[in-house]
Amino acid sequence: MKNIVILISGSGSNMAAIVQASVQRRWAERFGVRVAVVVSNRADAAGLAWAQAEGVAVAVLDHKAYASREDFDAALQAQLDVYDPVLVVLAGFMRILSTGFVQHFAGRLINIHPSLLPAFGGLHTHQRAIDMGCQFAGATVHQVTAELDHGPILAQAVVPVLPGDTADTLGARVLTQEHLLYPRTIEDWLNRAAAAL
């Protein structure tokens, strides 16, 4: 069985959508793949309890316990390498990853970002879209490169920006699409990987 690892820092709603899709869409039977572990840099991340309740292994690696980003990333890399992951999925993992970590997992490291990249990389994406008068917003799944919120785009979902939208109402509408987009994009990736074998 090949392993997917998911990294989270908070509620893990995208992680939950992926785990549920992996069961409902029978990834283990169809692709020989399972979500093997959910790792967080925060012990209080709510998503950890959800994953445990679903029978998924969890681990915590506190970034504050390390002297530098590179030290933390080296420890995280060593922990993930135990699982020899076919895919490392960032699902609300609020850490900027070092170049060495990104290069180590190149081609199998993906992220979801709550904007239509390349627009609005970084934080406060929904408010920035509203402030700029955008008529559409959305989410992007992309391969991770050393440059933050760049890398080849794998898939996007588009939602309208409605009159009277706030960052919260727009963000909630985008998040609904993220929960559909991310599992579907991973399944597409698994399909392509299986076809390439």
Please indicate whether residue 113 is annotated as part of the active site.
yes
**From 63, 113, 126, 142, active-site residue:** 113
- pLDDT higher than threshold 80 for residue 197: no
Interior/surface letters 124-158, b for 16+ CB within 10 angstroms, e for the rest:
ebbbbbbeeebeebbbbbbbbbeeebebeebbbbe
pLDDT of residue 172: 98
Residues 84, 108: contact at Cβ < 8 Å?
no
Residues 34, 27: contact at Cβ < 8 Å?
yes
- All domains of the chain in start order, with CATH: 2-196 (3.40.50.170)
Judge if pTM exceeds 0.85.
yes
Q: For the segment 102-135, what is each residue's pLDDT rounded down to a tens digit?
A: 999 999 999 999 999 999 999 999 999 999 999 9
pLDDT of residue 97: 95
